A and B are shown apart, each in its own frame.
Chain A
Amino acid sequence: MSLWYKAGVLSRPLTRESPDGDEDALLAELAQGSERALRTVYRHHHEAVRALARRLLGHEADAEELVQEVFVSLPAAMRGYRGQSSLRSFTLGITTNHARHFVRAAARRRSAVHRFAHEPKSELAPAADERVVREQLAERLMCAMDQLSHDQRVAFVLCEVEERSSEEAAAILGIPSSTIRARLGAARQKLQSLLSEEWP
Chain B
Amino acid sequence: MKADPLEDAVSALRERYDGQSDAASRSEDAIIGRMRHKTRQRQRARFAMPFAALLAASSAWAARDSISESVRQVGAWLRHESAQSSGLNQRGGQPRSHEQPRDQGEGAERPKPSRPQPEELAPHSPSSAPEGAPNTLPREPSAPTAKPRSTPSPRNSTAPTARAQNAPSPQLGEHPAKPDAMTLYREAHRLHFLDKNPEQALLAWDRYLARGQGDFAIEARYNRALCLWRLGRIAEAQSELRPFARGDYGGYRQAEAAALLSNSAAPHP
Enumerate chain A interface residues (CB-CB to B < 8 A): 33, 35, 38-39, 42-43, 46-51, 54-55, 58, 63-64, 67-68, 71-72, 75, 124, 134-135, 137-138, 140-142, 144, 160-163, 188, 191-192, 195-196, 199
Contact = CB atoms under 8 A, between A and B. Distances in A.
Nearest to A163: B14
B49 interface: no
Chain B interface mostly: helix
Interface string B1-19: 1000110111111111111
Contacts of A141: 6, 9-10, 12-13
Contact of A55 (B1, B5, B8, B13): B13
A141 B14 CA distance: 11
A33 B39 contact: yes
Interface in B12-33: 12-21, 23-24, 27-28, 30-32
Contact of A46 (B9, B11, B15, B27): B27
Chain A interface mostly: helix
Contacts of B36: 35
Between B5, B14, B20, B36, the greatest number of chain A beta carbons within 10 A of the residue's beta carbon is seen for: B5
A38 B27 CA distance: 12
Interface residues of B, number: 29
A39 B31 CA distance: 9
B268 interface: no
A33 B27 contact: no
A46 B19 contact: yes
Contacts of B31: 38, 42, 68, 71-72
